[in-house]
Structure 1
């Protein structure tokens, strides 16, 4: 099947319609899973910005220790492609549900493990080695989370509402950040900056254990995707190595899909992760002010996720994504330029507008990327495009931004960087076909 042909095979007349109760439970399971996974990631990103550099990578220069902490953040992104291969193979050959349960369990154990680690002062070089190891496990886990979560929701969705249901797990990254802030802010307020650095930073990591138990219970009670379980003996079987088959049969779709998601990834991580460190350290913005401003913008993005997905079901995926890409490209400069004012209200307003444009790109992409590939390769295809875009556009964003600001010392360079990647996404989406009216292949 060529890159230019959208994979389509309509469900047979005997295929039962979706059970609304089960569909709702699946959507909830997908949302809880992505929220927990991105909570864990957000907790690490915030802790890296605040304390993990000195605790695990002591150095005379605070910039050097912060860079080292963000390097471990990037290391987890480098491990994500391993998760794509591992969980893509499990998800396409053995089932979406099995892959999702395993990915959530791995993430939870790694996150709790970070909260139990000794620091450099206690264990010497062993401490950063263990931290990097657990970060790699987190990266592998999240490499399989996104594709499975959106597929489980999308493949259960009623006709004409695929973008709507696929978008529900997309609330997870923003909700995970908000949940992490809801834990970190009170901990900071109660323990103080010194108390947080001395050991209170462990609390958000350890609380992940409670969330993981809830998430595993929810995920183990839902049914397998009907698209996967509905395969009959006449259906073309899954490949033994889905990623290799994907690269061979759909190289153009794979590259363009990565490009389509790369701009949104940069905007998200520069806003949600990097600005929380950059604002206080480089511009003197109070830490609580910065966290509150980003949280306000994140709430607006979370609320807008489902409405924009409904527009994508009505108008098509491309018009909504393209509007968001144009908006992000244009607004990136004033959005990050607002940091130079130091005013929390101005920053919150600018970031809110920016994240609303971001969510126009991010919400429909959950249906758009899976629709580019057939069922036998869909878990791997959706995961590979999104995760590689996240790695290239988001994983290295804090590292690249730290270097850019060491050279030019202006928040405007963040806008140039993010805006350029959003233009890349715009061009890639233009080159891909509209997929709204295509049936998921059984």
Structure 2
């Protein structure tokens, strides 16, 4: 919980450095509205960068960055480069977590944003396989890895910025703002791709390799990220350090090697946090990345005649469904503050298990229609909003101040390897080998592991964020 004015730590000159402002709408002179924007705009940009890659991994990269041959093999290879970022994310959480716990949240957030932004911009300049051969996918993999390092440090910093400046009793509500960056980034990324494909009249099934979209159009979202990064940097450079971190510094509570300290003193929260996040990651990347390749290649109409949903039509359905994701993130923040993190997430995770077991009804080729696919994605992403929203409060609350950036980042990003990196690959293999129902079973198993972690976890709503290991 936040400290009272009596808890302020004095500077040698007698001034207070870390207590909350007398103005309830400001923290150390920084308006709360600016903190909200800074936490949300950064994650919006980071997720925009991440999702344009996810979209291109289905739509563009299999055709341009890998040798011609079997389409499924090229798609799986593209998903493999997509998964590289998730391998890199724990590295980013350790790297940026070290500086976030040693130097501060603000400077580290700036560094993570720059790392992600530069890598994304450079992807827009890469040569293709036809130009440089095997070097093309190697460069793509390198940039994707760098993207992952940047995002590995971004999320935990934004979450701490929100939670460590929150009003008492409102941490989950404050923490849900950076979570809104995910659907906002998704809407921007896929909205730009939709505009490009429509304006350039691109059809993923019939357009040739010399089409304008494949020669230059796909590069536009990656290059536009530079403008967004500049905006994000401007907002973040106007922030102050969080009061909680200032108090830790004033009390001499920083540790020399946060990563060693977190494994020594907080290994149980590391494990719990990883599995608490597992279902969230699996659900999201099944419902946003895998579902694009499935929906544009496997769905049939009500008459039983095999058809595919055109990419532009499917993207329109996906953009509608992401609105449900955005709408339920604030709902989850309110629920987590009102009823507690643990019971809220137990109920939501149980619903995810039931949703996973319903995949055959929603999406089996013999019964699926566009309207049913839309309902399928809306339900899935509404559940995503509910499970994702409280995470930026729950994971930081599991860890003490002096290792919070490192610990929450490692848990969050290790879950990304277990839940997200392999999800599109496993789902593609399952649907081709055993049918779409088994993709749902895969999701249900991941959610069952999360449910067990939540049952074991203690409630964190009332935890004092000023505690140290």
Q: TM-score range by the shorter chain?
A: over 0.9
Confirm whether residue 167 of structure 1 aligns to residue 179 of structure 2.
no
365, 375, 386: which one aligns with 2:401? 375
Equivalent residues of 1:325, 1:358 under 8 A apart: no
Which residue in 1 is equivalent to 2:439? 414
128, 131, 136: which one aligns with 1:127? 136
94, 114, 132: which one aligns with 1:105? 114
Equivalent residues of 1:108, 1:212 under 8 A apart: yes
Residue 357 of structure 1, CA deviation: 2.1
314, 319, 344: which one aligns with 1:295? 319
Q: 1:9 to 1:38 in 2, by over 3 A?
A: closer
Where does 1:200-219 land on structure 2 (aligned, <5 Å)?
Answer: 200-219=217-236
Structure number with higher helix proportion = 1
CA distance in 2 between counterparts of 1:348 and 1:335 reads 13
Residue 70 of structure 1, CA deviation: 0.7
Where does 1:16-415 land on structure 2 (aligned, <5 Å)?
Answer: 16-18=19-21, 20-21=25-26, 22-191=31-200, 192-193=202-203, 194=207, 195=211, 196-236=213-253, 238-283=254-299, 284-335=308-359, 337-340=361-364, 341-408=367-434, 410-415=435-440
Which residue in 2 is equivalent to 1:3? none
Where does 1:422-437 land on structure 2 (aligned, <5 Å)?
Answer: 422-437=447-462
CA distance in 1 between counterparts of 2:250 and 2:45 reads 37
CA distance in 2 between counterparts of 1:269 and 1:181 reads 15
Q: Cα deviations across residues 361-407 of structure 1 (Å, max 9, x unaligned)?
A: 21112111111111000001111111111221011101111221231
CA distance in 2 between counterparts of 1:289 and 1:430 reads 41
Which residue in 1 is equivalent to 2:302? none
CA distance in 2 between counterparts of 1:243 and 1:297 reads 38
CA distance in 2 between counterparts of 1:319 and 1:441 reads 24
Equivalent residues of 2:248, 2:401 under 8 A apart: no
Equivalent residues of 2:40, 2:177 under 8 A apart: yes
- By relative contact order (CA 8 Å, sep 6+), the higher-ranking structure is 1
Which of structures 1 and 2 has the bigger CA Rg? Answer: 2
CA distance in 2 between counterparts of 1:336 and 1:146 reads 34
Equivalent residues of 1:333, 1:414 under 8 A apart: no
Aligned residues: 433
Equivalent residues of 2:61, 2:78 under 8 A apart: yes
Q: 1:266 to 1:232 in 2, by over 3 A?
A: closer
* 189-198 vs 215-224, which moves further: 189-198
Q: Normalising by structure 1, report the TM-score.
A: 0.94
CA RMSD of aligned residues (A): 1.7
Query: Tell me, which stretches of 5 or more residues in structure 1 are unaligned?
Result: 1-7
Q: Normalising by structure 2, report the TM-score.
A: 0.89
Which residue in 2 is equivalent to 1:441? 466
CA distance in 1 between counterparts of 2:266 and 2:408 reads 12
Residue 437 of structure 1, CA deviation: 1.3
Q: 1:328 to 1:122 in 2, by over 3 A?
A: same
CA distance in 2 between counterparts of 1:378 and 1:280 reads 42
Residue 333 of structure 1, CA deviation: 3.0
Q: 1:232 to 1:67 in 2, by over 3 A?
A: closer
